[in-house]
Structure 1
Amino acid sequence: MERIFIIGYMGSGKTTVGKRLAGSLSLSFVDLDAYIENKYRKTIPALFEEKGEDGFRKIEGQSLREVAEFEDVVISTGGGTPCFFDNMEVMNRAGLTIYLEAHPEDLADHLLASKTVRPLIAGKSREELIPFISEHLARRESHYRKAKIIYPIDRMNTKDEIHLTVCGIEELIKRRNAE
Structure 2
Amino acid sequence: MLTKHIFLVGFMGVGKTTNGKKLARILNSSFIDLDELFVQQEEMPITTYFEQHGETAFREREREILKSLHTIPPAVIATGGGAPCFFDNMDWMNTHGITVYLQMPAQALAQRLAASKKDKRPLIKHLDEDGILSLINERMLLRDPYYAKAHHYVNVLELDLEELAKKITARE
Q: Same fold (TM over 0.5)?
A: yes
Q: Residue deviations 1:19-41, cap 9 Å, x none? A: 11001111011000111111111
C-alpha distance in 2 between matches for 1:111 and 1:30: 22
Partner of 1:96: 98
Partner of 1:114: 116
Give 1:89 shift: 1.0
Q: Aligned pair 1:171/2:170, yes or no? A: no
**SS of the residue aligned with 2:99?**
strand
C-alpha distance in 2 between matches for 1:47 and 1:128: 23
Structure 2 unaligned residues grouped into runs of 5+: none
Partner of 2:152: 149
Once the two structures are superposed, the pairs formed by residues 23-102 of structure 1 within 5 Å of their partners are 23-102=25-104
C-alpha distance in 2 between matches for 1:134 and 1:69: 36
Structure 1 stretch 119-128 or stretch 134-143: which is displaced more? 119-128
Q: Residue deviations 1:148-173, cap 9 Å, x none? A: 11112227xxxxxxxx5322321322
Q: Residue deviations 1:80-110, cap 9 Å, x none? A: 0000000011101111000001111111122
Q: Please give the TM-score of this superposition, normalised by the length of structure 1.
A: 0.87
- Correspondent of 1:135 among 133, 138, 147: 138
C-alpha distance in 2 between matches for 1:89 and 1:106: 28
Structure 1 unaligned residues grouped into runs of 5+: 156-163
Q: CA RMSD in A?
A: 1.6
Identity of aligned residues (%): 39
The one-letter code matched in structure 1 to 2:162 is C
Structure 1 stretch 117-126 or stretch 47-56: which is displaced more? 117-126
C-alpha distance in 2 between matches for 1:122 and 1:46: 13
CA contact (8 A) 2:113 2:132 kept: no
The one-letter code matched in structure 2 to 1:120 is L
Give 1:115 shift: 2.8
